[in-house]
Amino acid sequence: DASDPASAAQVLKLDPAFVRTIDRTGGTVLHTSRTNPGRVSSDQAPAALRDQVTGEGPFDFTDHVLRTIEQLGIHALVPIGGDDTLSYALRLHDEGMPVIAIPKTMDNDVHGTDYCIGFSTAVTRGVQFIHNLRTSAGSHERLAVIELFGRYSGETSLVTAYLAGVDRAVISEVPFDPNRLSDLLVADKRSNPSRYAMVTISEGATVASGELMVTGDADAYGHRKLGGIGQLLGEALHERTGEDIIYQQLAYLMRSGSPDSLDLMVAMNFAVMAADLALERESGRMVSLRNGTYTTVPITAMREGVKRVDVDELYDAEEYRPKVRHVLGKPMFLY
C-alpha cells in the first residue's frame, strides 16, 4: 500500500542494478532533509500522521519512527551525516535501536573522528576556485573576500587558506576586528607584486562585537541559515580602505560534483566497516579515523558537542592566518 508509510512500497531495494553507480555519483541517492523527527512543526507533519496530533507543535514522532523501523524488519540503522543527523541517531540509540553511524559533513566537526566524508572534496573545490579567482583579483588589483561553509568550526576556511596560500583566514572560533583585518590586507596587497590580497572567512564567523549573519526561520534543529558575513566584511573593507572588493560566496559549489579520491577511499572504507559491524550484530558505534587509523568509537562521543579548531595550536588570532609549525610527528590532518 503506497499510502502506508510503513509499507514495502516506501522501500528502495539496494540491489546491484541500483547501487552500481553510487561510487561515481555526486550528491546522495538517498536525498537529504533538515527534518528532525523528534521536533516536527505542524506544517511539516506528514499527512498520514496529522490526525494523531493536536495543537501547534512541535511534535515528537520518534515512537512512529521506531514502530515503522520494526514493521519494516530493519535490524540496524546506518545514519550518515553531521552533528544534527547523528544527534537524532543518538536519540534512537538511547531508545534501544541498533545504530551504526557514519560521519559525513564538509565542516569536519564531528567529535570522535579526525575525518568526516566530504571535507577533502570541499577543501579541494575551495582551493581550485580560489586559484581561479586570483586571475580576476590580480588583473583588477582588488581585495578578494571568499566566504566558505563552516557554522561552528572554521576548519574548512583554515585548511583551504593554508593550502591555497591565501593571505588571511577568518574562522568561526575567533571573532575578528574588521579594522585590524583591513590594515593587514592593505599591507598584503602592497607587498604583492601583482597588487591584490585575499581572505577566506567562515560563514559562522563573527565580528568582535558578536554579530552573526543569519537569515530566515530556524530549522528543526534550531539553526537559522548562515551567510553574508563575507559581504559584511567586504563592505567594511571598502569603507575603511576605499578599495574595490571582490566578494565570492562559494556556498554549494564546495559540495557539488563528484567526490575526490580521498573522500572515495574514506567513504568506501567507512561503508565496509559499517557493514561488518551490522553483520556482527554490533551497534551503538560510529566508524572513525583516528591518528590515520580506521577504528570505531561509541556513538555517545556525539555528546561532547561540535569539534572545533585548536586555535592555540593551528591559528594566529592576531594575524588572522594559519599557524602550522613542527609538522614532524603530527597526524595527517595536523590534529
Residue with cell string 543527523: 85
Q: What is the pLDDT of residue 3?
A: 62
Q: What total number of domains does the chain contain?
A: 2
The reply to whether 89 falls in a domain is yes
Are 239 and 289 in the same domain?
no
Q: Which residues of the chain have pLDDT under 70?
A: 1-9, 210-227, 335
Quote the pLDDT of residue 218.
53
Q: In Å, how far are 43, 170, 176, 249, 306 from 218, measured between CA atoms?
A: 14, 25, 25, 21, 19
Domain identity same for 196 and 230: yes
> Are 239 and 135 found together in one domain?
yes
Q: Is residue 206 part of a domain?
A: yes
Report if residue 335 sits inside a domain: no
The per-residue pLDDT for 215 is 46
Residue 220 included in any domain: yes
Q: Say what the pLDDT of residue 29 is.
A: 84
Tell me the pTM: 0.88
Do 108 and 134 share a structural domain? no
In the block, which residue shows the cell 581550485?
A: 128
Residue 271 belongs to a domain: yes
- Same-domain check for residues 34 and 156: no
pLDDT recorded at residue 216? 46
CATH of the domain at 269: 3.40.50.450
Q: Let me know whether 153 and 80 are in one domain.
A: no
At residue 116, the pLDDT reads 96
Round to whole Å and give the CA distance between 154 and 149.
Answer: 8
Is there a single domain that holds both residue 144 and residue 253? yes
pLDDT of residue 214: 47
Domain CATH number, residue 201: 3.40.50.460
All cell numbers assigned to 182: 583591513
User: In this structure, is residue 17 part of a structural domain?
Assistant: yes
Query: What local confidence, expressed as pLDDT, does residue 5 receive?
Result: 57
Residue 327 is assigned to a structural domain of this protein: no
Supply the range of the domain harboring residue 52.
Answer: 8-116+258-304
Same domain, 17 and 71: yes
Give the residue carrying C-alpha cell 560510529.
286
87 and 189: one domain? no
Residues 239 and 271 in one domain: no
Residue 1 lies in a domain: no
